[in-house]
Structure formats: C-alpha cells, structure tokens
Structure 1
Amino acid sequence: MTPLRSLALAFAVLALGACTPSERPTAGPVANAASWQSVATDVDRRRLRDWRTAFVAGLTQARAAGHADAVAREGLLLRPDAAVGGGIPNGDYRCRVIKLGARSPGLLPFVSYPAFNCRIATSGRLQSFTKLSGSQRQVGYIFPNDQLRTVFLGTLVLGDEQRAIPYGADNDRDLAGYVERIGPNRWRLILPNPRFESLIDVVELVPAP
C-alpha cells in the first residue's frame, strides 16, 4: 500500500471533526470546462454510468447486515430513483453523509454521520460545492447535465489539509456523482464507488437555518 493510500485510510476512519471554512476547489481545467464530458476521467465516466448499480449494491449490503429499518427510515433519500428534477440554489446547507456498502471486509455497510456545514456558490460559469467541516471533505464543481440531475466533479480533502488538489491529479482523490432534488428544499449528492470505504456515499442537503 502506498503512503498516500495509508494516509487516506487513516483519515477515513477518524470521527468527523472541524476544519477551516476557507477551502475552495483549486483552479484548473475543470473550473473552466465547457462541459463535464470534456474533463471527466475514464474512471469517473464509469462511476457516473454505473451509479445505480452501486446504489443498489450498497443498499443490498446494508439491508443484509441488519440495517433495513435504518434504510427505510431515510425514505426518499435512499431510494435510487427519487430524483424529481430542479437545480440546487446557492447558499449554505446542512449536509449529512450516509455511507452504503463496504468496499472491503471489516468495514461497516451502513454508516450515518451527523449533519455538517456545506456551501453551494457561483464559481464562474459553474456552481461550486464545498463541504466545510469534517475530516473527509468533498469539494468541486457542479455541471449542467439533464432535466433530472446535474453532475459533480471534485476531489476529497482529508484531515487538516488546507487546500484541495486539482481534479484529475490523483485517481484516489477524484470524485464524481450527481446532484438531485428529491423534494421541496431537499437535495442529495450521490457519489458512487468512492476510492475508500463504501460502495456509494449519499449526502443529504437541506438549507441551513
């Protein structure tokens, strides 16, 4: 195992804690791309294409491990086909991460974290997404896609790192997913097949009070 992977795995098992709120996605080709298709890596194209397979596999593992009631309580949040269309407005959000499925033996197939702070903002032609707190922080850009969902391309910031690495520089840190509205003032970011821990991460987004 490389030192980078060892470091990432070490941070991944930490309890989610605080971080600086000044993080922003780093500049690079993705920030100025005409479309997500023009910059997405081959790995992330597969992630986006296979999102539903990853979602169903994660749910199957979670239910088989005794978490069926917890899955059911989440309602629309954990229903793969819950998207109803509509973009996400800029603003501050409370974001709650649920990890479904275990990527390797010994990991939990269902983990629900408390809500953290996230922000959607305008960044040039695009919107940016920044998870502002926690020891695993997703940051990146949101691209137009279709009537049901927009595309997120970003990277993972770990621990006390102050700056996100550029998208495409490290496959272990790259993330791809979809932003979907699932109800009034309720959205989710689904991140299929992240490099570490889970089969899919589902991030609930509701406007901050």
Structure 2
Amino acid sequence: MNAVFRGALIALLVAGCTSKGPSGVRSSSAPMAADWRKVATAADRQRLRDWRTAFTTALRQARLSHAAQVANQGALLEPDAAIADPDGIPPGAYRCRVIKLGAKSAGMSDYTAYPAFNCDIADEGEVSSFTKTSGSQRPVGLVFNDDGGRQIFLGTLMLGDETQAIDYGRDADRDMAGAVEKIGPRRWRMILPWPRFESMMDVIELVPAG
C-alpha cells in the first residue's frame, strides 16, 4: 500500500492496539483489530444501520427525473442485489466509478454519474485497504469482514491537493462508512449511506482493471 496512507489507516485500528507513540497514534506494530464495530463511531454505526432507508429514499428521488439512467445501471442500483461473498473483494487494481443519488439540498442533482477512476484494494492482514488514487475527492480507508457475506468500509475523505489523510473519527464531516458487496462475476459495489456532502447515497462500482 502507498506509504502516504499508512498512518491514517493504522489510526483506524484503535481496538486491540496496545501501544501509542508520542503523537498518540497507535504503533503500526500493534495487532490489527478485525472487528469494525470496535472502530466505527456511533454516528457511522447509525449510518450503516440505516443503509437501506438511505438507498430507497435516494432512489425514489433519482427516478423522478432520471428514471432511464437509473434503470440502465441494473444491479448496481438495486438495494437487494448483493450476492453472498464469503471471500470478500480480492486485492488488486480496480476501475471504479461513483454515482450519487438523491440531492441533499435544493438546487443539486438527484442523479450524478462520474467517469471511472483508478482505485486499489490491498491486503493489510486481517483487513484490506481501499484507496482512490486520483480526483478531487479521494476516499481512503479499511475494509473489514462482516457477517452476512459482505464487508464494511470505514475511512476518511481526502480533498484537493492534500497528501495526508486525517485520522478517522477526528472530523465527522470527513468520516466515511459503507458496505462492500458483490453484485456479479468480478463486479462489486461500495454503498455509502448518508454522505456528508451533496447526496443521500453514494454508490461506487468496482471492476478489476485487468
């Protein structure tokens, strides 16, 4: 994994870590915590509990003005399209694209689809890491295994020309929480309910680059 993100990702692993350096950040030699519930903030646990409400509410709004575009996305934008995936998303380079559903405020679009970008999934031991490697908004974080054949993403948002991610849990406006789900052969999505900016639901499609 890119060293730029290493400190921020280690800071996510607050549960099960026993040693701290002078800055208060847990040492990277501390054991990794595999239970996302011990890492997630209370606000993010609530967002994850309400994922389906966010998805269906955002879809209802998007279909009012962009019904054809929503229909063309097929399983990607179907709330119950997830396939049980005990192995989880494998490490590698991916082509990812973001679709934003449901306007958070008046004057914003209920449906916005962005071109594909590059992202990476890396094996970090008991967890994986996710990084968006280009663009003005770049999620970075960890992917934890979860019950029910899906995975949980917890991370933060890097903006503009920032070169270092802030610690998860330090700024609620930057914290991100979602689920990684398989929706077809070599096809996954990351759903991000109630993001802080612009939309009610963000959906990121992940397809292997190779």
TM range (shorter): 0.7 to 0.9
Q: Give the Cα separation in 2 of the matches to 1:29 and 1:110.
A: 31
Runs (5+) with no aligned partner, structure 1: 1-20
What does the per-residue CA deviation read over 1:20-55, in whole Å, with 9 as the maximum and x for residues that have no partner?
A: x76425121427324111111111011100000000
Unmatched runs of 5 consecutive residues or more in structure 2? 15-31
Name the SS of the counterpart of 2:5 in structure 1. Answer: coil
Distance in 2 between residues matched to 1:22 and 1:72, nearest whole Å: 40
Aligned to 2:23: none
The 1:33/1:118 distance shift into structure 2, 3 A limit, reads same
Question: SS in structure 1 opposite 2:108?
Answer: coil
Letter of the 2:152 partner, please give it. V
How far has the Cα of 1:187 moved from its partner? 0.1
- Quote the offset at 1:85 in angstroms: 1.7
Structure-1 separation of matches of 2:4 and 2:137: 12
* CA shift for structure 1 position 166: 1.0
Is residue 79 of structure 1 aligned with residue 78 of structure 2?
yes
Q: Which amino acid aligns with 2:40?
A: A
Contact 2:34 2:127 (C-alpha < 8 Å) held by counterparts: no
Question: Residues 30 and 167 of structure 1 are in contact (CA less than 8 Å); yes or no, is this contact kept in structure 2?
Answer: no
Aligned equivalents of 1:43 and 1:147: distance in 2?
22
Partner in structure 2 of residue 128 of structure 1: 129
Q: Is this contact kept in 2: 1:149–1:178, CA < 8 A?
A: yes
Query: How is 1:27-38 mapped onto 2 (pairs within 5 angstroms)?
Result: 27-30=10-13, 32-38=32-38
TM-score by length of 2: 0.86
Cα RMSD for the two superposed structures: 1.3
1:22-171 correspondence to structure 2 within 5 Å:
23-24=4-5, 26=8, 27-30=10-13, 32-64=32-64, 66-86=65-85, 87-171=88-172
Higher relative contact order (CA 8 A, sep 6+): 1
Which one has the largest radius of gyration?
A: 2
Query: After TM superposition, which residue ranges in structure 1, 4 or more long, deviate above 4 angstroms?
Result: none
C-alpha contact (below 8 Å) 1:23/1:132 kept by paired residues? no
Instruction: Kindly state the Cα deviation for residue 123 of structure 1 after the two structures are TM-superposed.
Output: 1.6
